Chains A and B, each alone.
Chain A
Amino acid sequence: MESKEKKWTIILNPLLALIFGLTVGAIFLIFTKKNPFQVYLLILQGSLGSKYFISETLIKATPLILAGLGLAVGFRGGLFNIGAEGQLLVGAFIAALVGFKASHLPPLFHILLALGAACLGGALWAALAGWLKAKRGVHEVISTIMLNYIAIYITNYLVRGPFKSGYLPKTPLILSSAKLPLLLPNTRLSIGIVLALTLAYLMYRLLEQTVFGYELKAVGFNSQAAEYAGINQIRMIILTMGLSGALAGLAGGVEILGLHHRFYGQFSPGYGFDSIAVALLGKNNPLGVVFAALLFAAMRTGAMYMQRIMQVSTDIVLILQAAIIFFIAIEFSFKFWMTQRRKV
Chain B
Amino acid sequence: MKLRNIFIFGLVVILILVFAGIGLAIDKVKVIMVTDTAGLGDKSFNDSVWAGIEKAKKDLGIEAKVIESREMADYVPNLTGAIKDGANIVIGVGYLMIDALAEVAPKYPDTKFIFIDAAVDSPNVAGCIFNEQEIGFLSGAFMGMMTKTGTVGWVGGMFIPPVERFEVGVRAGLLTVNALCNTDVEIKIGYVGSFEDVPKAKSMTLTQMGQGADIVFAGGGTNTLGIFEAAKEKGEGFYAIGVDQDQDYIQPGSILTSAMKRVDVAVYKLIEDYIKEEFKGGIHSMGLEGDFLSLSPMNYTKHLVPYHVFGVLEALREAVVKGKIKLPTSQDELKEFKAPVSLVF
Contact = CB atoms under 8 A, between A and B. Distances in A.
Contacts of B98: 168
B68 A313 contact: yes
Interface stretch (B73-81, B147-155, B166-174): B73-81
Contact of B72 (A56, A188, A267, A300): A267
Given A160-B158, A308-B67, A314-B68, A266 B96 contact: yes
B129 interface: no
Interface residues of A, number: 29
Q: Mostly helix, strand, loop or mixed at chain B's interface? A: helix
B67 A304 contact: yes
B72 A59 contact: no
A188 B76 contact: yes
A168 B162 CA distance: 12
Interface in A237-267: 255, 259-260, 262, 264-267
B81 A160 contact: no
B70 A314 contact: yes
B65 interface: yes
Contacts of A308: 65, 67, 78, 81-82, 85
B95 interface: yes
22 contacts: A56-B77, A59-B73, A60-B73, A168-B96, A260-B73, A264-B96, A265-B96, A266-B37, A266-B72, A268-B71, A269-B37, A269-B72, A301-B77, A303-B70, A304-B67, A304-B77, A304-B78, A308-B65, A308-B67, A308-B81, A308-B85, A314-B70
Interface of B: 37, 65-68, 70-74, 76-78, 81-82, 85, 95-96, 98-99, 158, 160-161, 194
Interface of A: 56, 59-60, 160, 167-170, 188, 255, 259-260, 262, 264-269, 300-301, 303-305, 307-308, 311, 313-314
Closest 6 CB pairs of A and B: A269-B71, A167-B160, A267-B72, A308-B81, A308-B67, A56-B77
Given A168-B95, A169-B96, A308-B82, 15 more contacts: A167-B160, A168-B98, A170-B99, A260-B72, A266-B37, A267-B73, A268-B71, A269-B72, A269-B73, A300-B70, A304-B67, A307-B68, A308-B78, A311-B66, A313-B68
